[in-house]
Structure 1
């Protein structure tokens, strides 16, 4: 298999890992297995009476929920397969003349760090800062794999599309704003603040007077036996939620502004099509966000909201790459 084909498959698998991670987290199955890398000391979730008895004896303080344990293990299996594919990409890149070398090395290092974050997510009992970093690592991996794919697949914009290149700074700023919004989303989820506000457009009641930024965004939340279901009070969770909503408004405006400028000013159909895709994804993402509030965080929509953020990031990575490439 050529490296470009392998990268395509790896990109799809990375999206699956991101979505499965979101599904596991939103199903409250992040501690479905209290140990790592196995599950109750086994390579799979315990299911038979003998396995359940052995697991209960080994972890008497835990209530075994087989369905949640399987969710966690399936996530680990897929992540493990992704790690092997990244290793294969690294080996092929090092062997192939003219292929990028530093980027695949960095991606391989990132996935090792991701594995460590996955372990700490369990051993530190869903500490929010670790959960958020694990989420951001997955998004970073997704973006870097696309960048590596683009570097292995020559992309040329006819004439360099000089009129569009003046929007390079805006496109780069859009990536920064989107990453901050993804971080806010991860912080909202890891602190179980997604339902802290259930009305639109911002929050119910006198929310302005209840804002508590110091508690909401402190990475240190004290020592607890577990952080599952959150440890912050309502005002802190509400503050996180409000910040995420305001961030969504800013992000939407900036991304739509970039898309509008590219649609109206770019000469290249590649950039115009990417701008239309960006517009579509932004509209869908806003609709999913509103649906999460109105429908009280249904699992399918919440997972799709995570996938939408990942696809938005990939689209912006492509646009930035295309704008910076010379003819």
Structure 2
């Protein structure tokens, strides 16, 4: 049985999980259910009067907010479905003699770890380092599934495209820079620092003198009953936001330069098309990022910004695969 169609569906499904996770987080619904994997001890959100009574008895310090609880549970349902899809991919890969074995095993291990991070996100009350790790794990899963798909579908670049391959080292640096920027974005979101600066191009006021890197980037932020809505002071959040903005400028410049060089140097239509897609996604991400600031983080644009980052990473993974694979 051909594994490629299932991998295509799984890739789309993974993007949906990433977007749903962003929607849940940005809707402040990450603690919509105070327990895991159920919700108030049930497999669905309690709604009947006896269920609400039981929920209140079991969790006297919490009030059932159905809308937020359903967002959280829908995210868990689709994440669980994704886990089953990855399990099927692993079984199919192990049964197929010529299919990769190590990569599907690693992907399966990653999704188990992702489930643990999902649990810790709730039990540790949205601790930023856990929330950010959960986000990065989703991006890593997305990228590894694409790699598995590319390995199951041989990519042929006519003539090897030597001019494009000369950019392989720079392309690898670009993917590292993008990963750092995605981590910065996750840290910004998990610390509720997205609106710490509301003016362009960097921040309002005398922001240089208020930078506080030690507080901003410490993974340990003390013991708190909950980290929902953030526990850092303004200077720390502003520092995180400024770092993310400066990182965005550097990342956009490097990725656009890579796209320009590939468009002008590559012989392969496949690589040139990927470079055009990369350039388009960078421009779109910049527009979405500016819109988040100007419009004060509207939910739809903020979720789209997360999805755009995932698609940017996927495009760079493809470009690196094409440039580094043996001719």
What residue is the counterpart of 2:146 in the other structure?
A: 146
Q: Distance in 2 between matches of 1:304 and 1:29?
A: 18
The TM-score, its normalising length taken from structure 1, stands at 0.99
Residue 87 of structure 1 pairs with residue 64 of structure 2: no
CA offset digits 1:288-326 (Å, max 9, x no partner): 000000000000000000000000000000000001123
By how many angstroms is 1:64 displaced? 1.2
Aligned residues: 327
The TM-score, its normalising length taken from structure 2, stands at 0.99
SS at match of 2:183: helix
Q: Give runs of aligned pairs for residues 278-289 of structure 1, distance below 5 A.
A: 278-289=278-289
SS at match of 2:161: helix
Q: Give runs of aligned pairs for residues 81-160 of structure 1, distance below 5 A.
A: 81-160=81-160
Residue 30 of structure 1 pairs with residue 27 of structure 2: no
By how many angstroms is 1:106 displaced? 0.3
Contact 1:160 1:325 (C-alpha < 8 Å) held by counterparts: no
Q: Distance in 2 between matches of 1:306 and 1:239?
A: 21
Q: Distance in 2 between matches of 1:254 and 1:156?
A: 26
Contact 1:188 1:244 (C-alpha < 8 Å) held by counterparts: yes
CA offset digits 1:104-161 (Å, max 9, x no partner): 0000000000000000000000000000000000000000000000000000100110
Structure 1 runs (4+) deviating above 6 angstroms are none
Contact 1:156 1:326 (C-alpha < 8 Å) held by counterparts: no
What residue is the counterpart of 1:40 in the other structure?
A: 40
Q: Give runs of aligned pairs for residues 289-304 of structure 1, distance below 5 A.
A: 289-304=289-304
Residue 194 of structure 1 pairs with residue 194 of structure 2: yes
Q: Distance in 1 between matches of 2:326 and 2:235?
A: 50
What residue is the counterpart of 2:319 in the other structure?
A: 319
Q: Distance in 1 between matches of 2:325 and 2:159?
A: 10
Contact 1:157 1:326 (C-alpha < 8 Å) held by counterparts: no
Q: Distance in 1 between matches of 2:291 and 2:50?
A: 43
Q: Distance in 1 between matches of 2:302 and 2:37?
A: 26
Residue 220 of structure 1 pairs with residue 220 of structure 2: yes
CA offset digits 1:68-115 (Å, max 9, x no partner): 000000000000000000000000000001100000000000000000
Q: Distance in 1 between matches of 2:217 and 2:9?
A: 37
Q: Distance in 2 between matches of 1:239 and 1:49?
A: 47
Across the aligned residues of Structure 1 and Structure 2, the Cα RMSD in angstroms comes to 0.6
CA offset digits 1:245-281 (Å, max 9, x no partner): 0000000001001000000000000000000000000
What residue is the counterpart of 1:177 in the other structure?
A: 177
5+ residue gaps, structure 1, are none
What residue is the counterpart of 1:74 in the other structure?
A: 74
CA offset digits 1:53-78 (Å, max 9, x no partner): 11111101012101000000000000
SS at match of 1:145: helix
By how many angstroms is 1:204 displaced? 0.2
Q: Distance in 2 between matches of 1:237 and 1:326?
A: 45
By how many angstroms is 1:2 displaced? 2.4
Residue 20 of structure 1 pairs with residue 20 of structure 2: yes
Q: Distance in 2 between matches of 1:47 and 1:194?
A: 34
What residue is the counterpart of 2:238 in the other structure?
A: 238
Contact 1:156 1:325 (C-alpha < 8 Å) held by counterparts: no
